[in-house]
């Protein structure tokens, strides 16, 4: 018997290994993210919010068209740069989105590859267990139960042997099931990897196309700017030109504020109706009714600072906004300015060309990341005369933050953002002579001093 075993056991181990060798066909490293499962039907509340968002976008789009129409009534040299700067902003946003998508795909690829390695280890362990089990079964043989009884062996020993052989058979079946399940997972991972790899390749190809288009648009803007730079500079020095730009922005803010106030009133009415329904339901169930929450006092109107006539010294901002939640008014004094750079124009100080600064101008290199000072929702993102690519964020309670002269806008109307999230890149769009960011804070439509809300320390 020992001689027979020494001859056949290696062959048996090889047979057990060969039985499962076909699993290696599916063992390519995993490469990408699985497609998200189809989302379940939207709840009524979600559908209502989406409808409100669609309404907001529609009204702001109408406002944007009105603004463009009014700007076309008077020619301005910087307007020749408008389409080029818009295209640069669009391409930069698409590149930013593609970069995020590429990052997610690569992260998913790494995750799938790790899963594939883990499954390979599991499969090897399962194969080893099956090999040992088959070897033990071979050593013991598979005797017939009747033969055991006829041999005159102890019935109790016979029962124990039969139970042992039954347990081995059951364990073998379970192991085979586990191995098949592991192999199925490996095949699914391999197929997913192949699909994600194709997606990643497509995203990278799109990135290359966008980069080429972006470089082309930048060259076009550079050429146009060289042609009209003298005229742009002359128009910026015209008395009243800056005031007209500020008036245009104020008009936009006023109209946006009305739209946002109407939406807030609608939301408040819906909240009151929902609360009343809850109270009525509680009354029907004979429980203690909830009292209506006390209405908050309307936020105090911030007074604008009187404009000092002397030009203040420049200051350096070396900090960036961080993630923030909660009521915007409570963050007064703790905000950070949206971009690192030199604060060269301050609220209330005189501007070249007439008027006073109603916000801050922060000099920064083109392409510097502009971050939201606090959480909110984008309510305007487009090109505007005098401010170039401008983005406006609603923080609630009639507070708005305004980011102008950007090279690109990375967010669109309706998108929710978090404090510290990158929303744009600094530039000199709109005919601005310096690269940087124009930044304003407004409350109830009135400009307020950002330096009373933010710190450089």
Tokens of 144: 């017939």
Which residue stretches of the chain have pLDDT < 70?
A: 1-57, 59, 62-78, 136-169, 231-241, 286-313, 324-326, 353-354
Q: What is the pLDDT of residue 336?
A: 92
Fold (topology level) of 309-457: Glucose Permease (Domain IIA) (2.70.70)
**pTM of the predicted model as reported, rounded to 2 decimal places:** 0.63
The two three-digit tokens of residue 260, written as one number: 């946002």
Query: Residue 409 is inside which H or E element, if any?
Result: strand 399-409
Q: What pLDDT score was predicted for residue 204?
A: 85
Cα–Cα distance for residue pair 141/326, rounded to 1 Å: 73
Domain parsing of the chain, residue ranges:
1-33+74-237, 309-457
Return the beta strands (E) in 271-345 as ranges. 315-317, 341-345
Structure tokens at 441: 């804070």
The four Cα atoms 101, 107, 111, 113 give a dihedral, to 10 degrees, of 90
CATH class name, domain 1-33+74-237: mainly alpha
Contact criterion met (CB below 8 Å) for 304 and 446: yes
Q: List all residues 6 or more positions away from 393 whose beta carbon is below 8 Å from its beta carbon.
A: 372, 376, 377, 378, 379, 400, 401, 402, 403, 417, 423
Contact (Cβ atoms closer than 8 angstroms) between residue 176 and residue 131:
no
435 in helix, strand or coil? coil
Query: Do 309-457 and 1-33+74-237 have the same topology in CATH?
Result: no
Q: Which residues on neighbouring strands pair with residue 362, listed in sequence order?
A: 343, 437
Q: Cβ contacts of residue 342 below 8 Å, gap of 6+?
A: 314, 315, 316, 317, 362, 363, 364
C-alpha dihedral over 414, 419, 425, 431, to 10 degrees? 70
The two three-digit tokens of residue 182, written as one number? 């592991």
Give the C-alpha separation, 72 to 115, whole Å: 58
Say whether 152 sits in a helix, a strand or coil: coil
Helix (H) or strand (E) holding 393: strand 388-396
Q: Which residues contact 300 (CB under 8 A, 6 or more apart)?
A: none
**Which two tokens mark 270?**
């819906």
Q: For residues 182 and 126, is the Cβ–Cβ distance under 8 A? A: yes
Nearest to 385 by CA among 73, 59, 57, 94: 73
What pairs with residue 370 in β-bridges? 424
Of 252, 256, 255, 247, nearest to 394 (Cα)?
A: 256
Q: For 112-169, what is each residue's pLDDT tens digit? A: 888 888 888 887 887 787 777 777 666 655 555 555 555 555 666 556 665 666 666 6
Tokens of 134: 């088959």
Phi, psi of 446 (to 5 degrees): -100, 135
Distance CA 293, CA 307 (A): 41
């Amino acid at each position: 018997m020992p001689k027979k075993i020494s001859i056949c056991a290696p062959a048996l181990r090889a047979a057990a290994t060969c039985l499962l060798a076909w699993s290696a066909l599916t063992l390519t490293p995993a490469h990408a993210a699985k497609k998200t499962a189809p989302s379940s039907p939207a709840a009524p509340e979600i559908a209502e919010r989406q409808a409100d968002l669609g309404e907001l976008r529609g009204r702001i789009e109408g406002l944007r068209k009105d603004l463009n129409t009014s700007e076309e009534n008077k020619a301005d040299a910087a307007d020749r740069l408008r389409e080029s700067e818009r295209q640069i902003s669009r391409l930069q946003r698409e590149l930013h989105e593609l970069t995020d998508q590429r990052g997610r795909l690569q992260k998913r690829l790494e995750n799938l590859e790790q899963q594939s390695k883990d499954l390979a280890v599991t499969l090897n362990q399962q194969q080893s267990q099956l090999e040992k089990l088959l070897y033990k079964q071979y050593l013991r043989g598979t005797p017939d139960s009747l033969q055991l009884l006829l041999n005159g062996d102890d019935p109790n020993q016979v029962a124990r042997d039969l139970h042992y052989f039954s347990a081995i058979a059951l364990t073998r079946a379970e192991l085979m099931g586990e191995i098949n399940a592991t192999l199925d997972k490996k095949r699914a991972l391999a197929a997913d990897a192949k699909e994600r790899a194709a997606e990643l390749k497509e995203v990278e190809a799109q990135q290359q196309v966008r980069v080429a288009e972006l470089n082309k648009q930048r060259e076009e803007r550079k050429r146009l700017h060289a042609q009209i730079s003298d005229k742009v500079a002359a128009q910026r020095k015209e008395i009243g030109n800056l005031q007209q730009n500020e008036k245009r922005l104020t008009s936009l803010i006023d109209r946006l504020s009305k739209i946002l106030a109407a939406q807030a009133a609608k939301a408040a009415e819906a909240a009151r109706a929902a609360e009343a329904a809850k109270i009525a339901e509680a009354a029907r169930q004979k429980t203690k009714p909830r009292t209506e929450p006390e209405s908050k006092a309307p936020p105090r109107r911030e007074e604008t600072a009187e404009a000092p006539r002397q030009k203040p010294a420049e200051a350096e901002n070396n900090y960036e906004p961080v993630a923030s939640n909660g009521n915007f008014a409570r963050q007064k004094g703790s905000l950070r300015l949206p971009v690192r750079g030199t604060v060269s124009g301050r609220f209330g100080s005189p501007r070249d060309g007439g008027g006073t600064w109603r916000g801050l101008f922060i000099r920064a290199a083109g392409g510097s990341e502009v971050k939201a000072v606090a959480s909110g929702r984008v309510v305007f993102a487009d090109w505007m005369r005098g401010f170039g690519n401008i983005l406006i964020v609603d923080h609630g309670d009639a507070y708005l933050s305004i980011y102008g002269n950007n090279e690109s806008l990375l967010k669109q109307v309706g998108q929710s953002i978090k404090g510290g999230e990158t929303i744009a890149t600094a530039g000199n769009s709109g005919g601005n002579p310096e690269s940087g960011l124009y930044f304003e804070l407004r409350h109830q439509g009135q400009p307020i001093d950002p330096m009373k809300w933010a710190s450089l320390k």
